[in-house]
Amino acid sequence: MSSPNGCYSHTPNLRVRPVEEMKSCVVFRPKPPKMFMLNLNAWLIFQLCDGNSPDHVAQRYRKSVANQMSEREADRHLEIGIKNLQDQGLIKLKQQIDQRRTE
């Protein structure tokens, strides 16, 4: 059986500048060049997507926002955030094929 596996990582060579007073983060993507403003929630998701598996990202995100929203709502926010970050080329999911033989 083969099952998709992987981890999220930041796109190489991004420049990340937190803007604490605005509770936001500015990210420069060099290829193709563009700057983005991440709101606090997107910034949190972006930080979690630095070398963690999708399951691990989800667990840590739910934990981070547990006192603010339900698990279902957290999953919805996470889905939106990851899609936005992927669409803009700021994170990517590195796929790994885990080959397991069943006997």
Min separation Cβ 51 and another protein, Å: 11
Site residue total, another protein (CB under 8 A): 35
Buried b (16+ CB within 10 A) or exposed e, 24-56: ebebebeeeeeebebeebbbbbbbbbeebebee
Residues 39-78 that bind another protein (CB under 8 A): 39-45, 47, 50, 64-65, 68-69, 77
Rule CB under 8 A: choose which of 7, 8, 25, 62 binds another protein: 25
Which of 36/54 has CB closer to another protein? 36
Place of tokens 């007073």: 21
Which of 31/37 has CB closer to another protein? 37
Question: How many helices (H) does the chain have, and how many strands (E)?
Answer: 3, 5
